[in-house]
Amino acid sequence: MYIKIEGLSRTYVLNNGHKSVALEKVDLEIQQGEFICLLGPSGCGKSTLLNMIAGFEKPSTGSVNIKGELVDKPSVDRITIFQNYGLLPWRTVVKNVELGLEAKIPDKRKRREIAEEYIRLVGLSDYKKHHPAQLSGGMQQRVALARALAVDPEILLMDEPLGALDAMTRMNMQEEIERLWLEKQKTIIFVTHDIEEAVFLADRIVMMTPGPGRIKSIIDVPLARKRDRTSPDFLKIRDQVFAGFELKGVDHTEYYL
């Protein structure tokens, strides 16, 4: 198995001495090239799980193995994209994208070439000399994507990357991420609490519940791409997820946890 998560738990000791179980005994296997969405309400341990796959945090028990190797620290093979993008405000777009290349590629011109190629890939060539603060949220997220892809990682870990965007920009970015995933064949683990977003993007949706954080169930999304958000099959799976969280009964067009 490509990514193998076994008996993964994470307990935090709070200031008052009490323990809080953020994640309890999670088992999950992920294949290379899969698009996985971690879906669940606030506090169910999505970020905790993602941080341990990234190697930012250590498990209390259990382990994450990738290609048979234990994850115990961050690596350029797995790049995390954060909700607030994590761009460096003092660097221009192109210098931001070059960040991860600086250790890998000593030749400045080569570096610039690669960075510009990825900036073109996300459609921001006209903005490469701008600073992040001069860009919209969607554009900043594109920069973060370009920066992540530029180091050619095998895995992209995204923690609510579109959470701060408005609905229209968000849908555009979902399509953009799908396009990049199809083109670059990365494995993506994508955290969201938007059901429709998960159904649109995921090969499999990992549904999680809080108190303590657990995997409730895993739903396959066998729909062809590019998916039509209004097709009956799409809506059927969305309802299935909806029912899985025992939220059924209310009829809204937008489902939000």
Partner 1 sequence: MRMGIFRKTAVVVVSLSLLIGVWELVVLTGRFAPSLLPSPAKVAAGIGDLISDGSLISHLGVSLARFATGYFSASVIGMLLGLLFGCYKRIWAFIDPIVQVLRPVSPIAWFPFIVLWFGIGDVPAIVIIFIAAFYPVLLSTVSGVRKVDAIYLKVADNFDVRQPKRLFKIILPAAFPFIANGLHMALGSAWVFLVAGEMVGAQSGLGYLIIDARNSLRSDLVLAGIILIGVSGLLLDRLIRLLENGIEKQWGVSLGGGT
The answer to whether residue 102 forms part of the interface with partner 1 (CB under 8 A) is: yes
Binds 44, which of ligand ATP, partner 1, Mg ion, none (CB < 5 to 8 A, cut-off by type)? Answer: ligand ATP
Binding residues among 126-185 for partner 1 as defined by CB under 8 A:
131-134, 151
Mapping DSSP to helix (H, G, I), strand (E, B) and coil, where does residue 3 land?
Answer: strand
> Among residues 41, 76, 204, 235, which is the contact residue for partner 1, using CB under 8 A?
76
The answer to whether residue 84 forms part of the interface with partner 1 (CB under 8 A) is: yes
CB nearer to Mg ion: pick between 66 and 191: 191
Q: How far is the CB of 64 from ligand ATP (least distance, A)?
A: 15
Instruction: Tell me which stretch binds partner 1 (CB under 8 A): 41-49, 87-95, 109-117, 238-246.
Output: 87-95
For residue 113, how far is the Cα from the chain centroid? 27
Closest CA to 130 of 95, 98, 161: 95
Per-residue string for binding with ligand ATP, 188-227, x by CB under 6 A? -----x-------------------x--------------
Residues contacting residue 77 through CB under 8 Å, at least 6 positions apart: 66, 153, 154, 155
Q: How far is the CB of 83 from ligand ATP (least distance, A)?
A: 8
SS3 for 194-223, per residue? EHHHHHHHCCEEEEEECCCCEEEEEEECCC
Q: In what order do the strands lie in the sheet with 3-13?
A: 19-30, 3-13, 61-66, 69-70
Closest CA to 194 of 92, 83, 110: 83
> Among residues 47, 80, 96, 209, which is the contact residue for Mg ion, using CB under 5 A?
47
Binds 111, which of ligand ATP, partner 1, Mg ion, none (CB < 5 to 8 A, cut-off by type)? Answer: none
Q: How far apart are CA 202 and CA 194, in angstroms?
A: 12
Beta partners for 21?
11
**β-strand pairing of 155-159 with 19-30:** unpaired
Q: How far is the CB of 162 from partner 1 (least distance, A)?
A: 17
Q: Which residues bind ligand ATP (CB under 6 A)?
A: 12, 14, 20, 22, 42-48, 193, 213
